């Protein structure tokens, strides 16, 4: 299944292929403040519908994750990085998906604050 998503103003829009079976709630310093619920997919399943130039990027700490956000409205629809085996991944903020009810999905709590 293909899900469409975007930031609040629409300057950043994307499609992602797959079906979430759970989401992750991370308590690291940025995720806790964003309130994101993350669904991890291989990066090739994420397709931007708007130009890459519409995105801004924030990194911190070791710089392993590129937190992508809209510079106009400030919403963080996804992040990019690699898994422990080196595979490119995307962390989709399911709160940014259109017409998607994530309320029934199990939430895995991740202690990112301890990393």
Kindly report, residue by residue over 16-51, the tens digit of the pLDDT. Answer: 999 999 999 999 889 999 999 999 999 999 999 999
In a domain, 90, yes or no: yes
Q: Which domain holds residue 95?
A: 2-20+37-101
CATH code for position 58: 2.170.150.70
Kindly report, residue by residue over 105-115, the tens digit of the pLDDT. Answer: 999 999 888 87
In a domain, 109, yes or no: no
> Is pLDDT of 57 > 90?
yes
In a domain, 108, yes or no: no
Domains in the chain, number:
1
In a domain, 107, yes or no: no
pTM above 0.85, yes or no: yes
Six token digits for residue 39: 């669904």
Region of 94 (left: φ > 0; alpha: ψ -120 to 50; beta: rest) is alpha
Taking the CB of residue 59, how many other CB atoms lie within 10 A of it?
13
């Amino acid at each position: 299944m293909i899900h469409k998503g975007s930031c609040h103003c629409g300057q950043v829009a994307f499609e992602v292929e797959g079906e979430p079976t759970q989401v992750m709630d991370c308590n690291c310093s940025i995720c806790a403040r964003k309130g994101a619920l993350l669904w991890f997919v291989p990066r090739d399943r994420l397709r931007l519908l708007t130009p890459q130039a519409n995105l801004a990027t924030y990194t911190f700490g070791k710089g392993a994750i590129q937190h992508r956000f809209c510079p106009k409205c400030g919403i963080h629809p996804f992040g990019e990085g690699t898994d422990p085996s080196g595979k490119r991944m995307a962390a989709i903020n399911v709160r940014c998906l259109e017409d998607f009810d994530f309320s029934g999905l199990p939430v895995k709590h991740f202690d990112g604050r301890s990393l």
